[in-house]
Amino acid sequence: MGLAVIDRAPGGLAERWGVEQGDVIVSVNRQPVQTVAAFQKAVHSLSAKDGVLLDIVRRGRSLFLSYRDGQ
Extents of the domains making up the chain: 3-68
Q: Which helix (H) or strand (E) holds 39?
A: helix 36-44
Q: What is the model's pLDDT at position 51? A: 86
Find the Cα–Cα–Cα–Cα dihedral 15, 18, 22, 23, rounded to 10°. Answer: -130
Q: Report the C-alpha gap between 28 and 65 in whole angstroms.
A: 10
How do residues 17-61 score in pLDDT, each as one tens digit? Answer: 899 999 999 999 999 999 999 999 998 888 767 789 999 999 999
Class of the domain covering 3-68: mainly beta
